[in-house]
A and B are shown apart, each in its own frame.
Chain A
Amino acid sequence: MDKSTNKYLISALLIGVMFHGTAIFFTLESTYDALIHLFFGNHYANNWFDPWSYSWYTGFTVMGYPPLVHQSIGLLSYIGGVKFGLFTVAIIGIILFITGIYRFALVLTSNRNVAGYTAIFAVFSSTFIETLHIFGQLPSIVGLSILLHALPEIYLWIKIGKYKYLVNALSLLAVTVTSHHVTPIFGMVFFIFPLIGMIIMDASREKVNSYKEVRFFLFFKTFLSLFKRIVVFGFGSLLLIIFCILPYWVNTKNNPITQVPIPHGSRDNFFEVTSSGLVFFLIPWGILLFILPYIWFRFYSKRYLFFGLSFTLLTILGTGGTTPIPRMMLGDNAFNILTLDRFTLWASIMALPIFGEFGYRFVEGDLRQKIQEKYGGVYRRVLGGLFVSTFVFIVFFTMSLGYFRPFQPQKIKMLPILNFLQQDQHDHWRFLPLGFGDQMAWLSAQTNAMTVDGNYHSARRLPELTTRAVERLENSKFRGVEGIGSLQQFLTVPEKYNLKYVFSNDKFYDPILYFCGWQRLRQLENGIMVWEKLNIPPLSSILPKEDVPTFLKLMWGLIPVGTVLLAFIINIQLIWIHGLKSKHKSFPVYFKFAVAYDGFKSSVIKISHIWGVLMIIVFGIGFYLLYIKNAKQISPINVTESYYDALDFKEFERAYSYLDPNSTKTKDQYMLEIAVTDGLLSSYAKLDEIRVDIIAQTDSTAKVKAFTKWVTPLEKIDKTFFHELIKEDKKWFVKTSSYDLDIPPDQLFVENTPNYFNHGRRRITSEQTYHEDVLKQPVLEVLSAKIISNNGQYAIIGEIQNIDNVPADVVIAGTLYNEANKKLAMFNVKHQMKHKLMPKEITSFRVNFEGIAWSNHEERKPETFDPDQFTPVNLEEQPTNFDLQCAGNVATVDLYKGVTINELSIQKDHIEGVLFNSGLQEVTIPLLLVSYYDENSELIWVDHQYLPEGIRPQRKQYFDYKLLDISTVSKGENNLENVFINGLLNKEISNKVVPERKYEHQLIPLIPISGKGFSYVKLEVNTYIGNPN
């Protein structure tokens, strides 16, 4: 055997470092995880020994994640900043991975050429590319690579029994433990156990002449003879796992993860959710799929038998929810906590040496000869070409996946946000980014300001978050009811979290912010809209913190880097010199067990051929099914669905292509009509579900009814559309529908409106605002307030008026008490009021007492999506008392009041009517507030309805409101005893400011309707202006 430098490994290292090392600059920052690790790294750089971070989740401990990789980033950041640290660690990870897989392959195959091939294949393996460039799981890569490095040492210890090898093995394992916690635990099961099996097999083999002669009895005897070493190693590694990250275990015990399972794509059924199948199955397996029979064949040879079992197990676990087996094997609990993609990762990594072996045999070994003999050289070259091109295609595909389907929002320039947070003490409040993706971690790493959100969900403590399967508030729109529900709670009661600023990078969230009482501050240079909430107290200067004993802090801060230093000192010659140039007198003992590569079995070639053809057929069928499913115009249902799909994705040109080509509507006309429609449905909705029913069909025409379900930030909208369709040239088309032909009377019109401006501070000073610059809080008066209950749910309803001379932003917080004045629940008014009131304007309001959803584990969470869903708070006792704390602050924006109720007609249990926008702004989302009164004109209920379409100036909009049956609502007594305005008693304000109130005005706007449980109804309109001009 030649002892020269392994040229394959050298090339693999060079290519690997150049290829991945340059590519990470374009990929790593837009991966899912990398920026989280960056944030942690930054934490260690600033507070090495303090595990408490205030930045996220109202404070959390970083002891929830093994620290080595983060601390390395932190250490390197002292040289060139955190990003330098991140990239350097990534490059180190790449090198470790390539050398690690080389050493693993060497143990497994005992052939330096095969190991070299493996190293090269590993560089381009789609599973590694995906883990690094798409997921950015650095700790996982580093942990696994070090584990691979440890395997040869473990082999030598158990086989030979020299303590030197034990020390080597354990030192490397310690590094693995401190870099990733799941890897060593599962690594024990899936990598080390089969390795031990193989060692025993090898040792048994020494006693006989061939593997065939190794029988169970012999195997068992050998096992007993090696038992002591195995136990020593086992205990040693167990001790390491416990000791090296002891603070982690202590933390896990003290702060058990209360988080409910968060859905993860790797648990999906890959046939149902094809995107998950692609990302978590097809890509990581990649080309390995085509040589699966060979891998199985080799792994089930006697020597590798245990690897075969492990590999099989990993493969099955990696299929997620496609089959019920993983759930059965892991149990419900583990299945819902673990992300199963790691099993696929380990399986494909385990298969790499076999793939390397296959490559070696195909390129220069017996397989080459066999194929050449059997099918001729041309065939072999063609086959080789096919293999290589598939391999290249998969690499290209995986690398460019993030380019064609971005996983993250566009890169956000953080500087304007950082400047904003630093100016004018804005970092004295918490902020919340929306629509930032994982870049929120990068923002947090750069600022001292804190957010209520965060990106490491195992560490959360707020029950509002842990009880919901929400990854982040920031991307809550992707998490349906739970996401929007969680977000709404934070936005409705922001005082609780000192949350004053929201940075919105996604206009989807704008309506919910507005209707929760937030206002736009300004747009930063990077296009991020800043929203603020008035009346929020700043953070106190001392924040709560959970401290841990000093010895844990010291362990956490010192051990991980210590393990690296130790491992480095012990193993330096092994990793480098041994890996690249073997100066050892003899080869390691496992070289004895090399398999001679002669006589490739014909049956394997045959089966592989059949398998390959099968795979091609499967892929072919897959593509065909995809095509048929996406064939747009072969039936009325398809074309209707496609039409709505196009509208949903705002691909209006495509939508136009489904319209009747014979219609008189030109593309320009169509685009123009689309351009002028605005509203909840057309601007803020996402199509959730569509069902198309054919009402009537002839050969060439059809009439369909499309039931659509739209998800909006505010509520779920069910809407039924009717379409007529026509068939031309075997293709179906949707007939164009008419649009609003209404002509407004005025071409140009003028209106006077009062506009307001508040200087804030009149002097430019970094001091606190001068007292003469502080405006008086507008005086409000509550006209009525009472507790009511409806089906066991309590609410406070009432009416409030701004009796001051300036516009007011109104915040109403209600608290329920029992008879003994024990506080039961507290909440703010969400959207059932007008938050901005002009002088003397009045609004009805309702405070709902919202609880934390599904805090009780027995409650089943609903299967379908409903952002409007409401979880009432669980009251232990019957509330009898309440108080209202109302605060007014001078408002200067969102004061548009131009919508009138122009026509009404009362049907049986409906109010139909026309809203007319008489002003100058385009109303994006009108909200109808409906107050119900009893026969004594006493307020008994407040309801609301969003209108799905906007209203342009001087245009009409129809509405249809279904009256409620409120006979179940218990009427409460009007009680203004404990109502406070800006901290003062409402009664006193009322007596002082409006002593001669004309109470009969209360009756003027009441529309008499005798309905179920009510006698009058009052209508009010609140409007959200999406683009104020």
Chain B
Amino acid sequence: MKLNKRKRYIILLLFPIVIAISIAFTNSTTQKRNITATLLTKSTTFEAGQNIQLDFKLSDSVETELFLHSSYGTTVITPNLSDNTQFDIPDFMANKKGRITYTLVYKSKGIASGEIKIIATTEQKVFLESYIGPPSIIAGGRDYTMQTVLANDSYDNPIADSTKVIMKHQFLDRIEERELYSKDMITWTNIFSYKQSGRMLLFSKVHATVSKEFSVEVYPSLPENFEITSKREHIYADGNQITEFITSIIRDENGNIVSDGTMVDFSIKDKSGLLLHTQGKTIEGKAVAKMLHPSHHEIWQIKGYVHGMAESNTLLLEYEAVLDDFNVQFTNHNREIKVGPLISFMEQLIPDGAIVKMNIIKNGVKIDTKIESSSQGLVRFILQEGFYDTGEYTIEISALGVEKKYNDIRLK
């Protein structure tokens, strides 16, 4: 009994499945008629934007569809309502330059096919896309910028090859015009820089359409060697005044003044062979660099250079010492040491801030160094009791390049 019941269920289930499958695979056996079609429209080349209508003549009045394929895509359109053999090509295809292939379809079968061509419109205004780059180049004729023009019709179709394109540029007092012909959608030219630096303005023109103004900056080329001079208030090594190093106007090989901000380094070799350093940025080709006067007798050899590109002559500057000697007074059991007055080159007091250095040496060992800056030409050192035991000391004092040594100073 149980088995039977199960069988019955299976049969019940199988029945609808069989029916469903058989319906699904049933083919209708409607008959196909043979229909032929011919294109009535004469022209096969259209300008973009035109209203394109394709007319067919059918051997029998049946419902057809038109299959269209262009570079913009593929679509199937139905005939116009008024006439079932007339097809309007949709705008998105009719506005684009290129080829459209069509197939007239009746019951999934092509009954006529062909190709139409759409060219850029010449009736309406041309639109220009123009590019310039790079926006800055270097003078001298080696570097160049590229001007590129893409001329399009109002439907954004590239205009036909060999369309005349005029490119003009202005540089200083000259205006140059080039006549070019478009090829493969674009027109381009390289504009080499001239010897001079400055600003170049460019534009282009196709038919009546003109582009906006573009500008390209022509920067000067690499700097050439230059001269340097110096300017100082006096020749003395007072450690206070400032000496300026000034370059001649730095130019490139074509005589253009180098761009503002060009870095000029100054290397200064002092009499002990060490290198000091200062720098200046050019304005109108001239760079000014500053150095503080040395605080002792000194001979400086100064050379300016733009790294790897240009250099100057070597300048020799001598700074004379402002003093030969100074007073040192020991008071208060030698615990108070007064240095000065420090007298400058005209017997004036040296400006505040001159450095006086004192080394305190005991038994040949340096135990302390005191550094003070001068005030009113004087410096006072105090060797406090408790910190410096009683005993013999050697005191070395140096200021403005003069060194003095006092042996056997006894502190109480």
Contact = CB atoms under 8 A, between A and B. Distances in A.
Contact of B353 (A740, A756, A804): A740
Contact of A902 (B233, B273, B283, B291): B291
Contacts of B260: 754
Interface residues of A, number: 64
Nearest to B298: A903
Contacts of B288: 751-752
A675 to B, nearest CB: 19
Given A838-B263, A841-B263, A696 B274 contact: no
A738 B278 contact: no
Given A742-B353, A994-B222, A1007 B274 contact: yes
Interface in B226-259: 233, 240-242, 258-259
A746 B351 CA distance: 12
Nearest to B212: A772
A41 B318 CA distance: 75
A974 B372 CA distance: 48
A218 B402 CA distance: 103
Interface string A81-98: 000000000000000000
A806 B134 CA distance: 14
Contacts of A914: 292
A838 B307 contact: no
B359 interface: no
A994 B252 CA distance: 13
Contact of A746 (B136, B242, B270, B387): B242
B262 to A, nearest CB: 5
Nearest to B280: A897
A954 B279 CA distance: 15
Interface in B266-316: 267, 270, 272-279, 281-283, 288-292, 294, 303, 305-311
A541 interface: no
Contacts of B281: 753-754, 838, 897
A900 B265 contact: no
A900 B222 contact: no
A754 B136 contact: no
Interface in A344-372: none
B281 to A, nearest CB: 6
A740 B352 CA distance: 9
Contacts of B272: 905
Nearest to A738: B372
Interface string A748-771: 000111101000000000000001
Interface in B135-192: 135-136, 138, 142
A1019 B277 contact: yes
A745 B283 CA distance: 24
Contacts of A806: 136, 259, 261
Nearest to B225: A998
A772 B135 contact: yes
- Chain B, interface residues (CB within 8 Å), range: 35 or more
A1001 interface: yes
A914 B353 CA distance: 14
B292 A902 contact: yes
A999 B308 CA distance: 6
Nearest to A837: B263
B374 interface: yes
B265 A994 contact: no
Nearest to B130: A772
Nearest to B310: A998
B203 interface: no
Contacts of A994: 222, 308-309
Interface in A790-821: 801, 804-807
Contact of A900 (B277, B351, B353, B385): B277
Contacts of B340: none
A1004 B352 contact: no
A904 B277 CA distance: 10
B111 interface: no
A900 B240 contact: no
Nearest to B214: A772
A902 B292 CA distance: 7
B135 A805 contact: no
Interface string B364-395: 00000000111100000000111100000000
A776 B277 contact: no
B197 to A, nearest CB: 9
Contact of B277 (A703, A754, A805, A901): A901
A1008 B138 CA distance: 37
Nearest to B219: A805
Interface in A821-838: 837-838
A804 B138 CA distance: 9
B283 A752 contact: yes
Given A838-B281, A840-B309, A1005 B267 contact: yes
A698 B308 contact: no
Contact of A906 (B274, B309, B373): B274
A524 to B, nearest CB: 29
Question: Of A738, A901, A1002, A1008, which is in contact with the most chain B CB atoms at under 10 Å from its CB?
Answer: A901
A999 B311 CA distance: 12
Interface string A683-722: 0000000000001111001010000000000000000000
Q: Find the residue from A740, A752, A753, A775 having the highest chain B CB count within 10 A.
A: A752
B49 interface: no
A754 B135 CA distance: 21
A918 B277 CA distance: 12
Given A903-B294, A999-B308, A1004 B386 contact: no
Contact of B135 (A701, A776, A999): A776
A466 B138 CA distance: 50
Contacts of B223: 840
Interface of A: 695-698, 701, 703, 724, 738, 740-743, 745-746, 751-754, 756, 771-772, 774-776, 783, 801, 804-807, 837-842, 895, 897, 900-906, 914, 916, 918, 954, 956, 992-994, 997-999, 1001-1002, 1004-1008, 1019
Given A806-B136, A918-B290, 4 more contacts: A839-B259, A900-B290, A916-B290, A998-B308
User: What 5 A-B pairs have minimum CB-CB distances, sorted nearest first?
Assistant: A742-B353, A918-B290, A900-B278, A805-B259, A805-B219
16 contacts: A742-B353, A743-B351, A745-B233, A752-B288, A772-B214, A805-B136, A838-B262, A840-B309, A900-B289, A901-B276, A903-B294, A904-B274, A994-B222, A999-B308, A1001-B307, A1005-B275
Interface of B: 131-136, 138, 142, 214-215, 219-220, 222-223, 233, 240-242, 258-263, 265, 267, 270, 272-279, 281-283, 288-292, 294, 303, 305-311, 351-353, 372-375, 384-387
